[in-house]
Amino acid sequence: MRTRLTGLLSLVVLVAACSQQETTSTSVECTSPRPEMCTREYRPVCGAIDTGIRCVTEPCPSVDRKTFGNACDACSNKQVMYYSEGECPSEDKGDER
């Protein structure tokens, strides 16, 4: 009985860890209608902004990334296609002078 309980507990921990990883790496698409007003809540997201560039070869800078204060702020920008939780990696932020 104890071995069975330990196995079940291990399975629950593994499933919880896997589902937590999925949440952090998932992109959320911005849908219409776009928000017109947003709260000032700070929960940073990394928004993918369409640059309008279309390439035939790689690498192709068709998407820029920018950190927004929250998901509503990101999706209120009509150029943002989707976002993911958390700030953008430093190499994707671009030159912010």
Output the tens digit of pLDDT for each of the chain's 97 residues. Answer: 555 544 444 443 333 333 333 334 589 999 999 999 999 999 999 999 988 888 888 787 788 999 999 999 999 999 999 999 999 997 544 444 3
Sheet holding 80-85, edge to edge: 27-29, 80-85, 45-50, 63-68
Let me know if residue 34 belongs to a domain.
yes
Please report the pLDDT score of residue 6 as a whole number: 45
Q: What Cα–Cα distance (Å) separates residue 46 from each residue in 5, 24, 43, 75, 87?
A: 41, 11, 10, 11, 5
Please report the pLDDT score of residue 93 as a whole number: 45
Let me know if residue 3 belongs to a domain.
no
Q: Count other Cβ atoms within 10 Å, centred on residue 33.
A: 6
Let me know if residue 72 belongs to a domain.
yes
- Measure the CA–CA gap between 46 and 89, rounded to whole angstroms: 8
Provide the token pair at 11. Answer: 């399975």
Instruction: State which residues form the domain around 34.
Output: 27-92
pTM: 0.62
| Domain count of the fold of the chain | 1
Please report the pLDDT score of residue 3 as a whole number: 55
